Structure 1
Amino acid sequence: MSAQEDTGFSTRQVHVGASVAPASPRATPIYLTAGFTFSDLDESAAHFATGSGFGYTRTGNPTVQAVEERLASLEGGDQAILVSSGQAAVTVALLGLLDAGDHIVVSEHIYEGTRGLLLDNFSRLGVEVTFVDTDDLAAWRAAITPRTKALFAETLSNARNDVLDVAAVAAIGSERGVPLVVDSTFTTPYLLRPIEHGAAIVVHSASKFLAGQGAVLGGVIVDDGRFDAAASGHLFPHLVQIDRLGGASYAEKHGRRARGQYLRESVAPRFGPSPSPLNAFLIGQGVETLSLRVERQSANALAVARWLESRPEVERVDYVGLPSHPHHELGRRYLTRGSGSVFTVTLRGGLEAARHLVQSVRLVTHMTHLGDVRSLVLHPQSTSHSARTVAERERAGVFPGTIRLSIGIEDVDDIIADLAQALEGLASLALDDELADALDEREVVVL
């Protein structure tokens, strides 16, 4: 008889079975628990003093840690911090660098949620933003001021598919000790590892390609572990000065890992975007097939982009994998394994042509997401870029007839057939003269 069997019903329903037999599971276990028990007072004191072990899932969890280690290794970084969403990853990364009144230089072609974070939320903290064109290296250099604490860009721009010259922009920041933060969601560590080219911090929306299945949200921050207190300490006093209790600074305690440890210990747990261990598990499961999916998606996307470029209904295809893209050669330098699966297509016929295609596809799913195993479509002008002016949208490559595609892992012939039947229906619409002329002059390819 166990010691608990002589206790009351309510006590037993809580405590019996709480101790599980030791085992060695092949899959990552899901530690779905808010907190962890301590063996004695000394163990709990050591945890709060040094962070050793696990005490509370907001500050650390074995399932989350396993996924963090995997992502840090794949990204070529020192450490990864998993958080609850891609937006949380961007926020935590930047909050670890910026003080009130600071300045950040940002590519003009970024996700609208990040743009809103900078213009609407960080502006309330006195943070100033200077936007520059992704490929204008002179503009990046000219925009840096003594108050600049970070450069921020995406590896592939949404929606024009411009490629960030990571090494060049990182070098410009390094001249002044300013780190480059890169959102690499579109490229994943399988296609591009920005840290190898000089980026200091990489963020991802893990909800996209890393998870792959479109079921869970998550984000990750990967730090390079190369913080140089001598070169950058004057920009980041919170990393090199003694703490408020008079203790050693982060730089003294952690050396070149100081920035990553600050994000892990001081920013992420205090602002609280903690990932669910279940979500972490599903992201980790997705990462196990990342290379297979992204390789297939990139190959499918290139085939679809080539086919679309030949269609009379299409005005332009902005996919860096095509020789027609202005950044094609830069893409070949950085994206040796493929050009990714997300790109935009601008249709002749404007808004009504885009509306028809979005509402006519059967296999391709109309939704706000990307990086899924399923092919997806969205109309940027009326959704992701709706808060921008016409001029801002056009600079981003978004026009009334522009649609964004995220190509999945389906059989490519089926994806093309679905787009073909949607495009063929445009002939029956009363659209603009340019589309009508194009349909008259060129033979429509039917698969």
Structure 2
Amino acid sequence: MANNSEKKTYHFDTQRLRAGYEPKDHNYAVSVPIYQTAAYDFRDVKHAKALFGLQETGFLYTRIGNPTVNVLEQRAAVLDKAAGAIALASGMAAISYALLNIAEGGGRILVSPYLYGGTIDSFKKLYHKFGISIDYAENIENPEKLADEIKPDTKAIFVESISNPSAVLLDIDAIARVAHDHGIPLVVDNTVATPYLFNPIEHGADIVVYSATKGFCGHGNVLAGLILESGKFNWREDKFPQFYEKHYTLRDPDGNYRSFIEVFPETPFTGRIRFTYLDFFGAVLSPFDAYLVLIGLETLSERVSKQVQNAKALAEYLSNHEAVEWVRYPSLKDSPYYNLAERDFKKGAGGILAFGFKGTDAQRETFLNSLELFHYHVNIGDARSLIVNSPQTTHSMLEPKEKEKAHIPENLIRISAGLEDINDLISDLEQAFKQALHK
């Protein structure tokens, strides 16, 4: 349902409020209405036939399209400068649908070792059962050598723009060039950055995924996911035959079978997901949840800007603390990712940082239990500041060798900076350190 037909005459902060929505088409409601309905009446038999035959755009059943959800899809597409978008029930649904859509029938996905723990766990438990192999790149930070790891049946490269939990930055432009030289798409999980801080498509990405649960919405009250496509990738038939398979359900008015490439020439990727994976696997985003994401999106710039400001201040404070072994935040001048942050993240390198607690396991637990202001749970991108011991929670499913490859030591603590006063946040950390170290 999402498209890129809207004129891009406004700047980002206007589009996050206005894109994809015309009040006159919705009884002049200023706020996007919640179309809480399972289905939609047809005007007549001809109308029903046109909708089911994809000769007319519209809504027939909320599992594959809904007006509230459609506004979110169009708005996300405009913000990411994408050709099309599809909203789903979670970020994991977005990752799964995107990668399955690419490697359907078998193949390999070359992935960064710096990924969310749930993503890695899904790779271990699920994908091989669908004939898809996952290869962890040894040279993801050395793109000039990455080509050596691409095999004849590699179907895509998958990375995070800012990794969770260690805030690793990658040279997305260089990785995209390697992918395109080999005729495969680059898929970027842009959850931590959000479209406010980084636009993967402008840096060569072909597919972008989000857990909109996180910074995209920003209030910790909804689960949602998004997949966007650039509209620029050449889905060659020899490499991706699934886009060229002709189906009876895609037939034209004369009864000729058609493929997704023929029916959705500008957005074959999201078009195929909508009428295959979403339709049959059913990870549907509810209209009310889409509304919550839209409301959160209206304050995206202000929220993320303050989170970046707080994250940098926290990183600087922790860098000088005697109970801290190391700090990982790209905007610190001693970070190995400082130059990439300066080049690609002009508005800041995100609200996520990690540090190594210098002390015993018991002291680390006392520190976490002593915090009064930070929320101790596994979400990120919330308006509230969050903290968690990632190796024992979000990445606890990783085996020791996998943690080592992902550079996640057991003493790592992750912070997702919120919108509180920075002095209060630092004071809370300081009192917790004192209790943990008996000072």
Q: Please give the TM-score of this superposition, normalised by the length of structure 2.
A: 0.89
Measured in 2, the distance between the counterparts of 1:132 and 1:404 equals 24
Measured in 1, the distance between the counterparts of 2:144 and 2:120 equals 22
Measured in 1, the distance between the counterparts of 2:107 and 2:404 equals 29
On the 8 A contact 1:204/1:220 being kept in 2, the answer is yes
One-letter identity of the residue aligned with 2:426: I
Measured in 2, the distance between the counterparts of 1:33 and 1:244 equals 28
Q: Kindly indicate whether residue 131 of structure 2 is the aligned counterpart of residue 126 of structure 1.
A: yes
Q: Which residue of 1 aligns with 2:313?
A: 303
Q: Kindly indicate whether residue 355 of structure 2 is the aligned counterpart of residue 315 of structure 1.
A: no
Q: Indicate which of 180, 188, 195 corresponds to 1:182.
A: 188
Q: Which residue of 1 aligns with 2:426?
A: 416
Q: Which residue of 2 aligns with 1:9?
A: none
On the 8 A contact 2:364/2:436 being kept in 1, the answer is no
Q: Indicate which of 357, 360, 364 corresponds to 1:347.
A: 357
Specify which structure has the bigger relative contact order, considering alpha-carbon pairs within 8 angstroms and separated by 6 or more residues. 2
User: For the aligned residues, what is the CA RMSD?
Assistant: 1.6
One-letter identity of the residue aligned with 2:124: L
Moved more, 253-262 or 173-182: 253-262
Q: Which residue of 2 aligns with 1:28?
A: 32
Q: Which residue of 1 aligns with 2:287?
A: 277
One-letter identity of the residue aligned with 1:172: V
Q: Which residue of 2 aligns with 1:220?
A: 226
Cα distance, 1:139 vs structure 2: 4.8
On the 8 A contact 1:300/1:341 being kept in 2, the answer is yes
Cα distance, 1:233 vs structure 2: 2.6
On the 8 A contact 1:354/1:402 being kept in 2, the answer is no
Q: Which runs of 5+ in 2 are unaligned?
A: 1-25, 250-255
CA deviation map 1:350-400 (0-9, x unaligned): 422321221111000001100000000111121122222323223323223
CA deviation map 1:213-269 (0-9, x unaligned): 10110000011111324xx33211111343367612222333242223212222222
CA deviation map 1:50-69 (0-9, x unaligned): 16211110111000000111
Measured in 2, the distance between the counterparts of 1:172 and 1:107 equals 14
Measured in 2, the distance between the counterparts of 1:350 and 1:400 equals 11
The aligned runs of 1:186-197 (5 Å cut-off) are 186-197=192-203
The aligned runs of 1:80-99 (5 Å cut-off) are 80-99=85-104
Q: Indicate which of 73, 80, 90 corresponds to 1:75.
A: 80
Q: Indicate which of 111, 119, 122 corresponds to 1:117.
A: 122
Q: Which residue of 1 aligns with 2:12?
A: none
The aligned runs of 1:350-369 (5 Å cut-off) are 350-369=360-379
Measured in 2, the distance between the counterparts of 1:167 and 1:104 equals 19
Moved more, 186-195 or 323-332: 323-332
On the 8 A contact 2:121/2:398 being kept in 1, the answer is no
Q: Which residue of 1 aligns with 2:386?
A: 376
On the 8 A contact 2:118/2:395 being kept in 1, the answer is no
Measured in 2, the distance between the counterparts of 1:320 and 1:202 equals 22
Q: Which residue of 1 aligns with 2:41?
A: 37
Measured in 2, the distance between the counterparts of 1:356 and 1:399 equals 18
Q: Which residue of 2 aligns with 1:205?
A: 211
Measured in 2, the distance between the counterparts of 1:265 and 1:328 equals 42
Larger CA Rg, structure 1 vs 2: 1
Task: Give the match's secondary structure for 1:54.
Answer: coil
On the 8 A contact 2:185/2:233 being kept in 1, the answer is no
Task: Give the match's secondary structure for 1:259.
Answer: helix
Q: Indicate which of 240, 243, 248 corresponds to 2:244.
A: 240
Measured in 1, the distance between the counterparts of 2:378 and 2:127 equals 25
Q: Kindly indicate whether residue 105 of structure 2 is the aligned counterpart of residue 100 of structure 1.
A: yes
One-letter identity of the residue aligned with 2:288: L
Task: Give the match's secondary structure for 1:52.
Answer: coil
CA deviation map 1:193-231 (0-9, x unaligned): 0000110000000000111110110000011111324xx
Q: Which residue of 1 aligns with 2:51?
A: 47
Q: Which residue of 2 aligns with 1:142?
A: 148
One-letter identity of the residue aligned with 1:294: V
Measured in 2, the distance between the counterparts of 1:244 and 1:353 equals 64
Q: Indicate which of 141, 161, 165 corresponds to 2:167.
A: 161
On the 8 A contact 2:209/2:227 being kept in 1, the answer is yes
Q: Please give the TM-score of this superposition, normalised by the length of structure 1.
A: 0.88
Measured in 2, the distance between the counterparts of 1:175 and 1:373 equals 41
